[in-house]
Structures are given as C-alpha cells and as structure tokens.
Chain A
Amino acid sequence: MSILVYTESENGKLKKAAYEVASYAKGIADLMGTSVTAVTVNAENVEELSQYGVDKVLKVSSDKLSKFNADAYAEVITQAAKKEDSKVIVISQSANAKYMAPLLAVNLEAGYVSNAVKLPILDEGFNVERTAFTNKAFSMTSISTDIKVLGLSNNSYGLKENESSLTQEEFSPELTDENFGITVESVDKNKDKVSIADAEVVISAGRGMKGPENWGMIEELAGVLNAATACSKPVSDMGWRPHGEHVGQTGKPVATNLYIAIGISGAIQHLAGISASKNKVVINTDPEAPFFKAADYGIVGDAFEVVPQLIEKLKEFKANNS
C-alpha cells in the first residue's frame, strides 16, 4: 500500500523535480504511515532517491520508452500502482506529466487533482489544496475515489532530505502496440539552454528592451545565474524572441524560485502565469508600472544602465561565493 511516485529523468539523469515529488511523497507516506516506492524509466542515478525518503525503486528500462509517450508511460505507472497496491500516486507538473496524468487517472479510475501546493489533510476524507483561477485563488479539493493521483505544482513543496535505505528492483511492464498510437518523429530541444520549466531562476524581458538586438545583456545575465530566459507576449509576437519563451496566461507557466522581470509592465495576463514564482524582482523605469505591486523587490531604473552593472556585481558575488 505504499505511496507511488513517478520520478522523471532526462538522458538517464533524474530531474530536480523528481527529488521534489519524492520529498512530497515521503511527506504523504509519513501522514499515512506507509512507505514510498518510486518508478523510473531509463534512469541511471536512482540511488540518489534515498536522500529524499524513497524506500524502493521500480526501475523500468526499455528502448521502446526512450522517447516520452504519454499513453505508454501512463500504462507503466498504472501497472506499477497495481503491483504495489498504491492508493496515492504522485507526479510532477512538467509538460509530460500533465500530458500523461489524465490517462493514468482513467486507467486507475482515480480522482486526479492537478497543481497541488500542499500536503493533503486527512482529518475528514482526503483534501488537498490546489491553485485555481489562473493562480488567483486556491481551492481545497476533496477526492472521493479509492485511488488518488496528485500533481504537485513545481517548487511548491521544495526538497526535503530524508535518509532511507533504498532497494532497487527491475520492473518490466507489459506494453502492447495499442500503447503506441502516437509516434514521435522528431524532437527539437534546445540542448545547451536551461528550460523555463526546469530552471531555478528565470530572467524575463519585455517591450522595454526596445528591440531584439538588445537581448545580449539578458542572455549574459541568465548565463551568470544559470537561468532560463523568458519574455512577455508582445516580444514573441513581434518575433524578437522565439514563441517558446513567452510566459503568462497564454504562454508557459513559471513556478520558479526567482523571477527577474526587466522592462515588463506587469499586465494581469502576464502576472497570471508567473505568480506561483517564489521571489519576484522588477526592473522598470516607470515607478507606476503594475509589476511593482506584484514584486518582492523592485528597482526603478533604466534596464540599459542597471542590467550591465548587475551582471558585473553578480560575477563578483559568484566569484566570492563559490
């Protein structure tokens, strides 16, 4: 009856989000007085999960699963959940996990709560808080089914260290052609850049940057902080930056530890997508820009003067603190 957690990997390495969902699963296991089983697909460094309270890993290795396939992965986790007789299954809210979760929920006849932000409360039934209304509110949601699937919003629980002694087991789920109704023909991934979803820090810039030729300093600042770059919607609409960088209500959601907004006014549709970020910094010439109401730290100033100085100061800071 252990808690099952799907710990994602990329190119054989577990992702940071995997340790966060493992920490969260351990939190639930403690509440319910049970253990944690993780399931991995083609991951190598699984012993690191013992730092975060995982008791057992079901290791799936299969060439057929080398590219993510939502239906096949949902089937893998379904079979793992049945094998472990798990009543609670925890996943992240990466694009892949969100793609797969509803399929998994139907397979297991489970109630699914996405964007969960806290540990469940088990006093009366099974209740968990999640975000709703594009992050403008939280909803306490109860799940009435026997089996539950929880999608943990990125960076909302954090990593919690919990030493455990881990056992590993090879697991070979049975997959049929039906699980491969979709064929991935090609993947176009920016390999040397941090993705917005995986980044600890996101540097985002808006129309205040005046033109695409001025993004050098944004890239440089991102480089210093090992951050992903993002932008406001008009910036990608005008073709200054690729569409994949657009964040906000109609773009990518950002739930990062630090979000630095440069030359972005802070329109409600922009804020809707980034409000789950922990710390927000705004740099804007206009002290009346709405972003100052949403930010934790603000600098009223010209990006063209502030950003180059900030890069120099951060380089110094990094040199002294590493």
Chain B
Amino acid sequence: MKILVCISHVPDTTSKINFVDNDTKFDTNGVQFVINPNDEFGLTRAMWFKEKQGASVDIVTVGGKDTEPTIRKCLAIGADTAYRVDTQPLDGFQVAKELAKVAKDGEYDLVIAGRESLDYNGGMVPGMLAKLIGANFINTCVSLDIEGETATAVREMDGGKETIKTSLPLVIGGQKGLVEESDLKIPNMRGIMMARKKPLNIIEPLSSETHTEAKSFRKPEPKGEVTLIDADNLDKLIDLLHNEAKAI
C-alpha cells in the first residue's frame, strides 16, 4: 500500500497573531511553525501502517523553502520520501490541485490529510483533493483500518459517530483518535540523522489558479471587562443572562 500524507506547516496555537502591510499579511515574525496537529495524528497512523502492514509513506507540502524544517521533522518521524511543491499556498482549491497532481502521479492508494489546518482552517483541501482525483472521501475520521482494498473507518459527526466501509483509493480528513497524543513520536537522534539522507524532491507548481483571496485581516474587537458576580448573588447572574445577554 502506498500512502501519501499531506502536511501543512502552521503557526503553533500559542502564537500571537498579528498582521502587517496594512493588515493584508500575516506577521510571521517570532512565530513558531509546527506540523499541523491534525496532520501529525495522520502521519503517526501512517507509520503504524508502515510498521504493521509494510506500507510506504511519503509526505507532501505545498509551500516555500521555509517549510523545510517541518518536512525534515516528518522524515525524522519515519516518512520515506518528501515532496515539496514550490509555491506559496494561496487558497484551498489551488493547494488541492497541486496535491491532486502529486497524488495521481504517485498512484497512491491512501491519502491522509487533516480535518482542517490551524491557519486558515478552512477544512477545504481534503474533500477537494478527493473529488479532483476521483477517490472516496471520509472527513473527521477518528479511526481507520485497511484490509486489502477495503477500508473500515469511524467518522465523528454532530452528536455521535458512524462506522463506514469503503474501498481504495481513499482520501481522509483525519484528526485525534486516528492515534492518541501518547502515540505521537518525538524524532530520536537516529531518525534525525537518517532524515538528512532521505530524498526531499522539489516539484514545480502547476499554476496559481485560485478561487478565493484573503484581502485583509482584522482581530476581534477587544472584549469588555468581565462582569464579576458575587457567588452569593446568583439571582444577579440569572437576571443578567435573561435581560442583558438574552441567553436564557
């Protein structure tokens, strides 16, 4: 089985979010970038398929040279080969088209992406990619097993879960549950050394055709001070929630 894991390189959640150039660009100054958490769960599940079922695991990122530390980390965790499509990600459709080309050319059986990325968190790429390559698609996937050509998965939905059967080729939008935090691997020295020798292939982009464009950003208005209510005066809270907030 050939697996491709789509990795997006995102600001760590504890990062301060600021914008520059008249609020048109994200300020990357001092921002720590990480593997998108949903993708790391997926990559770790892919490593399980590699160890237990002899799958090969490649990773792909659409992004500039600045994403290479993230890519090296994926190789150190155990991915075999990395691809970087050398262009700035601009919108979900553009990224999905680039990934679709890599997925098609490599004839992958399974493509693992994340439910959403933490930067634009659009939740668009995996589904678009699946449709573009004509593969089956499961979103918010919290469990995945594959036997031959058949996949059994669990999808989380509002208020519950469902068990799904489908066939390869398959794209998933994965999240925590595919593996748990305790399963995540911190690359060891050997992994890091080996990662240096593994191939990181640079691919020329297809086009920069986009459907959407982030024109400007703004931060939410600063929130007013919290209204503190005495623990002995719960009637006051109920009154505020009823008359001011109109929430009960």
Contacts and interface: CB of A to CB of B under 8 A. Distances in A.
A207 to B, nearest CB: 16
A268 B238 CA distance: 27
Interface in A271-301: 272, 275, 278-279, 281-282, 292-301
A137 B15 CA distance: 12
Nearest to B132: A106
B159 A300 contact: no
A304 to B, nearest CB: 11
Interface in B71-113: 91-93, 96
Contact of A112 (B37, B92, B248): B92
Interface in B154-197: 155-167, 173, 175-177, 181
Interface string B100-138: 000000000000000000111111111110111000111
Interface residues of A, number: 90
Contacts of A272: 13
A222 interface: no
A183 to B, nearest CB: 5
B126 A102 contact: yes
Interface residues of B, number: 78
B203 to A, nearest CB: 22
A185 B91 CA distance: 34
Interface in A91-127: 94-96, 98-103, 105-107, 110-115, 127
A114 B160 contact: no
A31 interface: no
B241 A95 contact: no
Contacts of B231: 299-302, 305-306
Which of B119, B227, B248 has the largest count of A CB atoms less than 10 A from its CB? B248
A298 B228 contact: yes
B217 interface: yes
Contact of B227 (A201, A298, A317): A298
Contact of A186 (B126, B163, B177): B163
Interface stretch (B1-9, B59-67, B205-213): B205-213
A269 interface: yes
A98 B123 contact: yes
Which of B121, B164, B181, B220 has the largest count of A CB atoms less than 10 A from its CB? B121
Interface in A307-321: 309-310, 313-314, 317, 321
Nearest to B128: A102
A70 B248 contact: no
A138 B247 contact: no
11 contacts: A70-B139, A95-B158, A103-B127, A139-B215, A144-B213, A186-B162, A190-B159, A201-B248, A244-B156, A249-B13, A314-B238
Interface of A: 67-68, 70-71, 94-96, 98-103, 105-107, 110-115, 127, 131-134, 136-145, 181-190, 193-198, 201, 225, 237, 243-244, 249-251, 257-258, 268-269, 272, 275, 278-279, 281-282, 292-302, 305-306, 309-310, 313-314, 317, 321
Interface of B: 11, 13-14, 17, 19, 26, 37, 91-93, 96, 118-128, 130-132, 136-140, 142, 155-167, 173, 175-177, 181, 210-220, 223-224, 226-231, 234-235, 237-238, 240-242, 245, 247-248
Instruction: Please name the 10 residue pairs, one residue from A and one from B, whose CB atoms are nearest each other, closest first.
Output: A195-B159, A102-B127, A111-B211, A301-B231, A189-B160, A197-B158, A106-B131, A258-B247, A99-B139, A181-B136
